[in-house]
């Protein structure tokens, strides 16, 4: 299976001009999140020669603005799509999605999007902004699991616990926004060092992981902390 980073927004200059969010493409047919700026999303899709007509499924991790900006273009242009959100997704946004005539799937529990691609179901996490609800993507190929997170508001450990509990196996690779940017250095260290207990051998920190978090991943996952830039494709 291939996963492409369409847009990330985590580099210093991107943050400076408020270019923020994340978006992935799994093989040709699954979009996972749609960045926080529709113009940037569109431009990256064009530049990377992505054919969105092949997309069948759009999975949205959670309803924060930096994950949904490119969605409306996609829904307006392509028919027959299935959109996957969590039950606690903003009701007004759900209504707006349905207005495009697409199938809206609200997944409280893990479900299969298509062969080898699953959601974790809705997980929740307490944050400074209150409780946030989110789902992650799980890819299973050659018997190995990769977990892809949007922001990881429910916390990495809880996401990994849920994935391992449901699939009954370790998670080999963890990729995405890890939301360590607001954590104390001690907590970041503990989180990073706990991950091998879940089987994690490869990490790809992106988006809201934060500079300190990325540093800690590099230090602890020597040689197995991978850096993806926009347009990069990873075989999982």
- Contacts to Fe ion by CB under 5 A: 64, 66, 151, 208
Rounded least distance, CB 155 to Fe ion, Å: 13
Alpha helices in the chain (DSSP H): 12-16, 38-47, 71-77, 91-98, 156-167, 185-194, 211-220
Least Å distance, CB 207 to Fe ion, is: 6
First CA to last CA across the chain, in angstroms?
A: 6
Closer CB to Fe ion, 81 or 149, in the complex: 149
SS3 state of residue 207: helix
Residues whose CB is less than 8 angstroms from the CB of residue 76 and which lie 6 or more positions away in sequence, other chains included: 100
Q: Shortest approach of Fe ion to residue 80 CB, angstroms?
A: 28
Based on CB atoms, which residue is closest to Fe ion, 81 or 151? 151
Nearer to Fe ion by C-beta: 151 or 180?
151
Q: What residue is closest to Fe ion based on CB?
A: 151
Which of 40, 140 has the CB closer to Fe ion? 40
Bridge partners, residue 5, by sequence: 24
Min separation Cβ 131 and Fe ion, Å: 13
Alpha helices in 101-230, H assignment, sequence order = 156-167, 185-194, 211-220
CB of 123 to Fe ion, least distance (A): 13
Q: How far is the CB of 152 from Fe ion (least distance, A)?
A: 9
Comparing CB distances to Fe ion, the nearer of 17 and 112 is 17
Q: Which two tokens stand for residue 98?
A: 């349905």
Q: Which residue lies nearer to Fe ion by CB, 15 or 197?
A: 15
Q: How far does CA 115 lie from the centroid of its chain?
A: 18
Q: To 10 degrees, the CA torsion angle through 188, 193, 195, 198?
A: -150
Look up residue 102 and give its DSSP letter. Answer: P
The two tokens of residue 108 are: 């409280």
Q: Which two tokens stand for residue 125?
A: 């996490």
């Amino acid at each position: 299976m291939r996963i492409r980073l369409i847009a990330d927004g985590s580099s210093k200059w991107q943050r400076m001009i408020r270019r923020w969010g994340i978006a992935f493409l799994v093989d040709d047919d699954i979009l996972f999140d749609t960045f926080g700026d529709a113009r940037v999303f569109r431009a990256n899709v064009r530049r990377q020669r992505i054919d969105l007509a092949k997309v069948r499924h759009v999975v949205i991790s959670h309803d924060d603005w930096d994950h949904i900006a490119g969605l409306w273009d996609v829904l307006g242009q392509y028919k027959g799509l299935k959109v996957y959100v969590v039950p606690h997704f903003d009701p007004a946004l759900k209504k707006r999605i349905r207005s495009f005539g697409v199938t809206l799937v609200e997944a409280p529990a893990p479900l299969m999007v298509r062969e080898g691609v699953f959601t974790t179901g809705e997980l929740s996490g307490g944050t400074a902004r209150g409780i946030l609800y989110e789902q992650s993507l799980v890819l299973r190929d050659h018997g190995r699991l990769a977990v892809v997170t949007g922001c990881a508001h429910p916390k990495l450990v809880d996401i990994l616990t849920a994935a391992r509990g449901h699939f009954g196996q370790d998670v080999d690779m963890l990729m995405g926004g890890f939301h360590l940017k607001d954590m104390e250095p001690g907590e970041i260290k503990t989180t990073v060092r706990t991950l091998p207990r879940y089987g994690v051998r490869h990490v790809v920190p992106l988006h809201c992981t934060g500079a300190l978090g990325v540093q800690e991943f590099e230090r602890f996952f020597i040689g197995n902390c991978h850096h993806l830039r926009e347009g990069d494709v990873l075989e999982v």
